[in-house]
Structure 1
Amino acid sequence: MLAIKESRDHLLPWMPWAKDDQHLDNEEMKQMLISMFSEQFHSGLDYPYGIFLRPPQLTDGQQQHQEVFVGSTGLHPRIEPKNEAMEIGYWMHVDHLNRGLCTEAVRALVCVGFDHLRLKTLEIHSERNNQLSQRIPKRLGFQPSAHPSEHDVIVWTLHREDYIKMLEHHHDQSQNDNQWNNTLATLEIFDDDGTRVYPC
């Protein structure tokens, strides 16, 4: 949870929950949070994921250090109908911004949402002034709402049929230009008991 504390000033303008980071110094509280996330995941109430950087491998194939937690993303059943649509949320450690890591993670969840969960619609909600956050849905083909909501939030939407069209378009391009396939070859998603969710 050190990533939250170190990124507090960056997160606070957009994510008020970051102000309550004092409890993250308590190991018991951290374990309670992890247990809560796990329970929500397995009950289908929420699907939170951590974003981790794998350490470089040594010449003998051994890894040099442990994986590093650099952010979080998730599929959230906050929109109706819940069995057909979900919202994707995300945040990154301030030291790992502008590296494409969050875009990679969200792109993978788009594929999980449409290919694994068979959803019809995915949304990303971003505040109008959060230009950095808005780069991600723009890159991934989401379309913005015509007007911000009453809370000054832009709702970005991607429908399953448009996702399929994008895949078909990229399939027709050369392999070097196919951003979706190239990215997925380097990404894996696991649930909290170690089962690989994507690629299936």
Structure 2
Amino acid sequence: MLRPLFATDAPGPVLSSRNLLLRLPENKDYRQWSALRERSREFLKPWEPSWPRDSLTRRAYRARVRQSAIDVREDTAYSFLIFRRRDEVLLGGVTVGHIRRGAAQSASIGYWIGVDHVRQGYMSETLSSVLKFCFDALRLNRVEAACLPHNTASRGLLEKVGFVEEGLAREYFRIDGIWQDHVLYAFLERDRRFKTVLEAATQ
């Protein structure tokens, strides 16, 4: 967790990488967030749960901000907004959720990116930062992700970062109003160690 390049009052961790800064949502982000979500509605709709009618209202957003702070205090979820460092433009979001402690030490991640910013490498950089946070800061052993079988872009992204496909979960999430099967992926802490050794050996 590194110091941000621009001022933030957001509680909780701030993640910084070469091109991006990830932090918890703040009330001041509402206009950027709602505008990006609205522009991206048709792009995101096939991959997300149905949006409530009030999902883009300021009231709903403030409730989201409050819940995000509660989740961090209780160590149950970390919902980051993704900003481009050079101009503070909001690109999307990523959530580390369903955190299980004790014998499990695992979590699930979900992510979205605005239609204006797809296929520019931002999400692979985001997931790399988030995995480092999960293993180094949260001390997790396992990070899971799920995507629709026909979402080739998301599947390619997960595999590029290093996630391993584990199988198919029937009717795993209700997406766009329909219960749909999902392909399950996971990244283990030992996978990161193996990947580091492999990369060093090939350099």
Same fold? TM cut 0.5:
yes
Q: Distance in 2 between matches of 1:98 and 1:34?
A: 28
Structure number with greater Rg is: 1
Q: Distance in 2 between matches of 1:8 and 1:81?
A: 38
Q: CA deviation at 1:30?
A: 2.2
Which amino acid is 1:149 matched to? Answer: A
In the alignment, structure 2 segments of 5+ residues that lack a partner are 1-32, 172-180
Partner of 1:123: 144
Q: Distance in 2 between matches of 1:27 and 1:115?
A: 34
Partner of 1:8: 41
Is the Cα contact below 8 Å between 2:77 and 2:96 reproduced in 1?
yes
Q: In the alignment, which of 182, 187, 200 is matched to residue 153 of structure 1? A: 182
Instruction: Tell me the secondary structure at the aligned position of residue 74 of structure 1.
Output: strand
Instruction: Tell me the secondary structure at the aligned position of residue 192 of structure 2.
Output: helix
Q: In the alignment, which of 20, 25, 28 is matched to residue 52 of structure 2? A: 20
Q: Alignment RMSD, CA only?
A: 2.0
Which amino acid is 2:85 matched to? Answer: R
Partner of 2:85: 54
Alignment partner of 1:36 is 2:70 = no
TM superposition score normalised by structure 1: 0.73
Which amino acid is 2:184 matched to? Answer: V
Sequence identity percentage: 22
Is the Cα contact below 8 Å between 1:47 and 1:74 reproduced in 2?
yes
Alignment partner of 1:95 is 2:127 = no
Matching of residues 107-146 of structure 1 within 5 Å? 107-146=128-167
Partner of 1:168: 197
Is the Cα contact below 8 Å between 1:70 and 1:96 reproduced in 2?
yes
Instruction: Tell me the secondary structure at the aligned position of residue 47 of structure 2.
Output: coil
Instruction: Tell me the secondary structure at the aligned position of residue 65 of structure 2.
Output: helix
Q: CA deviation at 1:87?
A: 0.8
Equivalent pairs counted in the alignment come to 161
Q: Distance in 2 between matches of 1:80 and 1:9?
A: 36
Is the Cα contact below 8 Å between 1:79 and 1:87 reproduced in 2?
no
**Which one has the bigger strand percentage?**
2
Q: Distance in 2 between matches of 1:11 and 1:91?
A: 8
Q: From the superposition, tell whether residues 134 and 118 of structure 1 become closer, same or farther in structure 2 (CA, over 3 Å).
A: same
Q: CA deviation at 1:161?
A: 1.1
Is the Cα contact below 8 Å between 1:5 and 1:21 reproduced in 2?
no
Q: From the superposition, tell whether residues 96 and 166 of structure 1 become closer, same or farther in structure 2 (CA, over 3 Å).
A: same
Q: CA deviation at 1:123?
A: 0.9
Q: Distance in 1 between matches of 2:116 and 2:100?
A: 31
